Structure 1
């Protein structure tokens, strides 16, 4: 396959911004060297920050494409022909080299710049090695420096990483040859060419530091920095200390920030997974207090533990499995390769091989879930091109992957075993397939397994710093595929029609920045990165949108691709931090005290996309009319808006939601278990007032009165539950892998979480705590429970491992279920003399609330035309099921229906005999002659969910006592059934 580059709008916008910011050429210069043929023409404001430009583009949005095309543009328009690209690391350098020299990039740019080509000169370590006793310049350096303007169709580019740029070889002046007729120092010869310097990843080249000084020594006329992150600078001291981002010209000339990148679908969305561990183990953590070359000091609470080089962590805590020692030295690492930094947290339970095994296993599950979707392309044309799926593993120990003499380490062996198991399982499933695409996928899986079982497998590969120059052919082939053969990694077959099965890649942060492959769908971190690097940078290797087998890059409208990111328990707040980092990247900081100029500018620009005539004056007039701001643009404290009292800032967000939409990442872009739906739905007070007389009755509290025989029934049920003859109640428990995601429909969100066991020691809990919770949740006497537990444990051969949270849950659930069966008809409601507030009604004020959280009405939403009889402002409608709830809400009702609507959760709070409360789903007020009657509905799908019947019995018993108030209660399975009930009530035929 051949990658097909496309000119994307945000990239052409960046190029336009560069063109506008470019200061121009000095055409009337009196400098006698202006026409020096070895150097660039003279730029206005050269050697000055007035000329320099910053372009901010989020990871994965194509900054390499933009700066490559920028070189073509500046050459075509101004004759500039000597450019230096400075990158932080060799891996980034290799990625840049691969892109610029690729056939697909050359073909793409030839469409815009006919007959113009780039000659790329890459400076690598070892290029300056002395030969035959003479110290000569590398050929690529000589070619760059001594190229002239006479070849008007050629652009000279030198690519160098910061380590090479800072080396003695670039700065010494004792070479046995000269450049430009007299220069003996490479750095001075480069400076003579008056280059334009492009800095990739500018946060790695902060001003005032050694690597930026190397840039300055090349005396660039113009510097253009491209990056997602820029260096910071600090001024002042103490309380007046100020930290700001260090931009040329005080701001980037183009800013595609993280919020825009995620919200506009320019990068993949992200799911985060981590394996859970018991609370007791999670709280058993150590902090790195000091890390020195010869000593490591850990702290836990007030205690400190000192380890010298070679001393074992297991002596501090037995949970540090695997014979891990402190290696010390300049790298400050453990023997497993984990780099340590001050304040880093170490949880012993996460060092077990079984823990890393679960992360790998879960990563493979994520990989094959994505791979099946990408290969089979469900719900699309049968001929839709396939998408190759890659996964990336970051590990802490190279030796665990690649042992001595190029043998496989324990981690590689473990990975192979897990991969073989999953492949065999999938093959068994797809061998019975009848569809052509499924058969093709089965063949791909079989080829993968066959390669994995061969002597020289080509399914997975690693790239580590020590791999450079390795003599092992398999290692070099893998490194070449990872660093250089992007098209091969994205292809399914070679030129002979054989499957290309390489798709699992391993590294030790060597590929953290710069390297990219658009089809990485899973990233697994088997250990923390050891430092607080950018969370966006960590996920950045998998953010780029994928390409299919034809080389076409898919946008989010064509294929909803997501990145699965697996981490350890010690980083379980990763998603929350990532969301915060994305939001912090917004150039506009929201001020809840006053309306700033930046906030005004943001709103105006957003509104002008719809109304080009909208301006600042209109905005301020509107806010003034709604009494939101003072004359000095301060927000007022209490603003009446839509029947509610809000702060001025909240009122602004209600009137102009664009302000938060453009400064915060959308909920579905990073799925975070802590995300909550905070949107509200406004009540139509005039409609609710028609229900006020009824609600004053419903607000009266009710007490459940049980029959006298229930205590005897409870003991009978308890003895039956504890006599677990089938071993379904008393079970053993192991830790679990937790998968969390925030699932959204339109603008609403809810959390979905799944769990699975993994192999390690059994989990248990304190027996006293076990009994206490059991007594609280069942209302059974502790003495009775203790006697029953003693009998049960004896039956289980005195194995106390059965005393755990799962057993506790089973006992509580089984008891409550069986006891509830006996209680269904053994109680009655007894009204009390006081009222209580609910989600919809303030009993103290005797009035309805102004609004309710949207999620108490339903987790889904749908736009619909307005109905004046509905209880809430709409659109959108909120609902929990498409059938029957949504159909009921969308149906048109006759003139006898006064008001109708969905009841929020906890709107009535009917007490349940099995604890908790319940509320029906719908209410209708119906005109019947001169009177009004009420129909209350509990809905259920035709496949009744567990507990629906119990809820129906509870609610029926409750509303039976209110029939004299004109209230009728029914359960309904369809909107037609609701319509029939209304019809019967209107005609007096419903008893």
Structure 2
């Protein structure tokens, strides 16, 4: 199985944010390294903190993808080719290494940067050790430093962990020299003027040694990628407060936790824990005092003193290690209360048993999917444990308990599935039998920090599978057709950051650490959306299962803390009694057709607010219903639950109405491919000529400077700094590029043959500007690239036809194997909002109430309309109900369908794509409408009509036209 990467909108937004925040190349730089063949071009603001960029993305949303894509983008657009990736741990380093080196990633990026490649150089532990008596620098460092600009298609990347960058190895002299005389690695890194990428920035506070080691490389720019960032304290005494330490005071891209959960970019979470008796809950021990060498516990009125190394006296084999930590990993502080009952091995066994039960419940759901024809999804479970010996030792209690409980569960499932006969059930039975055979060898594996020093082959194989063989863990079978049964993973928080696997559906945390760690980080290893056995990533509404997170009773408030942490990630807090400025801003941003005055007038007429702006009874809930974007300020209810999973709401299909268009849906089940027309060189030359003849594309480029103005802010008090970019000396434009260099850059951007560009550019430059090469600059380059792409989009983006393929496939509502409509469907596939206050209409496509819809206007209006009797069935179409192929990738489905009688037992199917009036169509919206028009037009069937509607009235008018059309 190979993972199939996709261009996801939020990741494209992040890459664009980096480009927008980047100041560009400094063509007038006085830096002596400006033209140094082994160094990056010099950027504007080189080395200034104001140049640095922060990209905030929630765990599981693809920070690594964005980081790699950003390197490709900065190389293609600006010629930057020396990047250093600094990570805080070996596990995170392995994640970057495996992604960059993966064939699936190379193939994906090759689509967009076909002439570029990354040469990855990794510094590992031990690389600086002397060999054969000589102290030479690692080959990977040599390759990175001495890579030069002459190889214009290669991006040199050095991957190093912070500990190595901060080590003495970087500043000592070696027998070997780099760049004709440099003997210290740090000097060599400084000489190449690097761009540095930092992962997990909260691990690099600016006052700590690891960050200072990054600064010591003298980077031109630092780009930090993370879900959390370091904190700093500003002010003194009572006025002191803790704030997040962002470059430029805020992230240049902010994909926070609320948006990630609400937009379905990560899994929902169900949190559960084994309960205890009321007596056990009252049996508390409190830390009276704790020092490095001694612990004093208070139990009721009695106190007990425990020295370092002593057993604390509870079942569970736990001692006081000293340094304020128990052997179980619990970090102690004065006043902490804990329950002995949750620290026993028997209580841990309850969590393990529950985890195994939940794993197989999830595994079967993911294995069978909705029917035997959907691709299976491999299920992985991750256990965080406190004692390595309990798992690694030959007779470790945890390993023995786990294998005993697992064996019992698998044997029971084998007996159950032996009696079942369906193909997918028999296939799962085979998987279970292979699990039982390999139970002690291949089914579970561990990774701990000390494993990196182990020479034991079995342990090395486990580490490789967990850290490096992501595809193997996601696959059901190997190349020979043997089942791959490894799916239970154990670690001691070594995998807390940086490592992830999309198919982790269960995390069991055995014993609390006691520290106030980020709750999002703790669940983060399982948040990424899963992939099926074919490598396709599933949307959240397609997912058969959510993430299950198992904890102990002493952390039963985990869900509330997690929700609080997620909501705290948003700076906006709305007033639920008064229509405040923040609420107005959110609505106006989503609805540019409104003004503040018009919005308040409409809300007043609707009885939602009073004259003073206060919400009338139920007003806040009503305004959220009208403008769902308001709720994006907090995580949606149900995204995180306590006490186990809530059943996903499903909507029952009204099959009588669906069957009125059975013949239509049998045709929609046909699959189509796009066949593009060949664009000849002559046609492409004409397009290039049009672009070159547009004189507005050629412009002179003038130098810019960044000016800092210190001013006094009367509103907030104190001195402040205002930064602005200004053009100076407008009489003297910058020198242009060499003709050949400009031509090569334009060819890379437009993907047009150099010969075609040259034929037109030489003529245009001579005729328009007397051959003045000062017009061959970055501004002209950007203008020509933008103009070309716009003209190409207008002229050729629709130069394709739909060719029917000789097979059918099931959609979200029609099962071709059963030759029937499905019984029900996930409610979220129809719409994210609901309205229970409706009059039941027997012509609806679903059993009502509630109605499901995405927008109040016009979708909700259309669903509550009382239609003429000639409309015999109508309703909202689920996502992927038809799956019209898009030329830019993926599929699209119209929003509504109507069945309209025309007499003589004839009828017309009207398909409608909605877009709210005045909301401003994006380019992608316009593309979708054109694609749908072309697709439905290709059916050549007068029974099928299609329209795009901005208002409900547009649909009513079209229905009348259909009824009277002969």
Judge same fold: TM > 0.5, yes or no: yes
Aligned 1:733-772 pairs, distance under 5 A? 739-742=643-646, 745=649
Residue by residue over 1:866-898, the C-alpha shift from the partner in whole angstroms, topping out at 9 and shown as x without a partner, is 599xxxxxx9669xxxxxxxxxxx9x9xxxxxx
Name the SS for the 1:297 alignment partner. Answer: strand
Structure 1 equivalent of residue 193 of structure 2? 194
1:355 aligns with 2:354: no
2:482 aligned to which of 477, 489, 498 = 498
1:402 corresponds in structure 2 to 392
What residue in structure 2 maps to residue 92 of structure 1?
A: 92
Residue 381 of structure 2: aligned partner = 391
Q: Does 1:424 align with 2:411?
A: yes
**CA deviations over 1:447-489 (Å, ceiling 9, x no partner):** 0101126xxx111001011111312111111111000000000
Cα-to-partner distance string for 1:295-349 (whole Å, 9 max, x where unaligned): 22334567654321121211xxxxx1133211225xx432344444565542100
Tell me: CA distance 1:599–1:55, structure 2 relative to 1, closer, same or farther (3 Å): farther
How many residues are aligned here? 667
What is the alpha-carbon distance in structure 1 between the residues aligned to residue 151 and residue 69 of structure 2? 19
- The answer as to 2:300 corresponding to 1:308 is no
Aligned counterparts of 1:238 and 1:147: Cα–Cα separation in 2: 52
Q: Alpha carbons of 1:487 and 1:654: their partners in 2 closer, same or farther (altered >3 Å)?
A: closer
Please tell me whether residue 544 in structure 1 is matched to residue 531 in structure 2.
no
Distance in 2 between residues matched to 1:459 and 1:558, nearest whole Å = 27
TM-score normalised by L of structure 1: 0.64
Alignment partners' CA distance in 2, 1:75 and 1:547: 30
Q: Which blocks of at least 5 consecutive residues in structure 2 are unaligned?
A: 652-832, 842-847, 852-863, 867-966
Name whichever of 304-313 and 136-145 sits farther off. 304-313
Q: Deviations over 1:556-587 (max 9, x none)?
A: 23224301100000100111111111111123
Query: CA separation in 2, counterparts of 1:597 and 1:24?
Result: 36
Partner Cα distance (1:122, 1:283) in 2: 53
Are the counterparts in 1 of residues 624 and 630 from structure 2 also a CA contact under 8 Å? no
Relative to 1, partners in 2 of residues 1:366 and 1:155: Cα closer, same or farther, differing over 3 Å?
A: same
Q: Secondary structure at the match of 2:121?
A: strand
> Which residue in the other structure is 2:463 paired with?
479
Structure 1 residues 493 and 548: CA distance shift in structure 2, 3 A: same
Instruction: Write the distance in 2 (CA, Å) between the matches of 1:388 and 1:136.
Output: 45
**Within 5 A, what are the aligned runs for 1:810-829?**
none
Deviation at 1:652, TM superposition (A): 8.4
For residues 865 and 338 of structure 1, what CA distance do their matches in structure 2 show?
54
* Structure-2 residue corresponding to 1:669: 639
Question: Which residue number corresponds to residue 321 of structure 1?
Answer: 315
Cα offset, 1:411, TM superposition:
0.5
Q: Say if 2:540 is the partner of 1:553.
A: no
Q: Partner of 1:452 in structure 2?
A: 439
Q: Aligned in 2, Cα 1:461/1:85: closer, same or farther, shift over 3 Å?
A: same
Runs of 5+ unmatched residues, structure 1: 315-319, 673-738, 748-859, 869-874, 879-889, 893-991
User: Quick one: distance in 2 between partners of 1:586 and 1:117?
Assistant: 38
1:518 matched to 2:502? The reply is yes
Cα offset, 1:17, TM superposition: 1.6
Q: CA deviation at 1:143?
A: 1.3
**1:53 & 1:617 partners in 2: Cα distance?**
37
Once the two structures are TM-superposed, the CA of residue 594 in structure 1 deviates from its matched residue by: 6.9
1:436 maps to 2:414 = no
Q: Are 1:461 and 2:455 counterparts? A: no
Deviates more, 1:478-487 or 1:125-134: 125-134
User: Which of structures 1 and 2 has the bigger CA Rg?
Assistant: 1
Is 1:576 matched with 2:560?
yes
Partner of 1:55: 55
Distance in 2, Cα, partners of 1:108 & 1:41: 27
Q: Do 1:509 and 1:529's aligned partners in 2 also have CA atoms closer than 8 Å?
A: no
Spell out the pairing of 1:94-243 with structure 2 (5 A cutoff): 94-170=94-170, 172-243=171-242
Query: Cα 1:566–1:81, aligned 2, differ >3 Å: closer, same or farther?
Result: same
What's the counterpart of residue 34 of structure 1? 34
Deviation string 1:825-848 (CA, Å, 9 cap, x unpaired) is xxxxxxxxxxxxxxxxxxxxxxxx
Query: Does the 8 Å CA contact 1:667/1:744 hold for their aligned counterparts?
Result: no
The equivalences for 1:681-720 within 5 A come to none
Tell whether the 8 Å contact from 1:603 to 1:658 is kept in structure 2 after alignment.
no
Q: What is the Cα deviation at residue 622 of structure 1?
A: 4.9
Looking at structure 1, the residues matched to 141 and 118 of structure 2 have their Cα atoms a distance apart, in angstroms, of: 15
> How far is 1:595 from its partner?
6.0
Deviations 1:84-143 (A, max 9, x none): 111111111111111111111111111111121111111122111122333221111111
CA-CA distance at 1:651 after TM superposition: 7.7
Corresponding position: 1:21 with 2:5: no
Secondary structure at the counterpart of residue 261 of structure 1: helix
Q: Given the alignment of the two structures, is residue 278 of structure 1 paired with residue 277 of structure 2, yes or no?
A: yes
Give the secondary-structure state (helix, strand or coil) at the position aligned to 1:307: strand
- Mapped to 1, the partners of 2:256 and 2:598 lie a distance apart of 28
**Is the counterpart of residue 589 in structure 1 residue 573 in structure 2?**
yes
| Alignment partner, residue 373 of structure 1 | 365
Match of 1:78 in 2: 78
Conservation of the 8 A alpha-carbon contact between 2:624 and 2:631: no
Shift of 1:615: 3.8
Partners in 1 of 2:545 and 2:618 — Cα distance? Answer: 41
In structure 1, distance between residues paired with 2:218 and 2:288: 43
Counterpart-to-counterpart distance in 1, 2:69 and 2:444: 34
| Number of the residue aligned with 2:764 | none
- Distance 1:38-1:621 versus aligned 2 partners, 3 A rule: farther
Q: C-alpha separation between the residues in 1 aligned to 2:595 and 2:184?
A: 57
Deviation at 1:505, TM superposition (A): 0.2
Cα offset, 1:746, TM superposition: 9.0
CA contact (8 A) 1:337 1:398 kept: no
* 216-225 or 68-77, larger mean C-alpha shift: 216-225
- Shift in CA distance, 289/624, structure 1 to aligned 2, threshold 3 Å: farther
Alpha-carbon distance between aligned partners in 1 of 2:130 and 2:355, rounded to the nearest angstrom: 47
Q: Distance in 2 between matches of 1:289 and 1:192?
A: 56
Whether contact under 8 Å (1:604, 1:614) holds in the other structure is yes
2-structure distance, mates of 1:562, 1:269? 5
Q: Once the two structures are superposed, what CA deviation does each residue of 1:808-859 show, in whole Å capped at 9, x if it has no partner?
A: xxxxxxxxxxxxxxxxxxxxxxxxxxxxxxxxxxxxxxxxxxxxxxxxxxxx
Inter-partner Cα distance in structure 2 for 1:655 and 1:492? 44
How far apart in 1 are the matches of 2:271 and 2:417?
A: 29
Q: How far apart, in 2, do the equivalents of 1:513 and 1:373 lie?
A: 28
For 1:630 and 1:155, locate their aligned partners in 2 and report how far apart those are by CA, in whole Å: 61
Distance 1:299 1:87 in 2: 42
Q: Report SS of the residue matched to 2:296.
A: strand
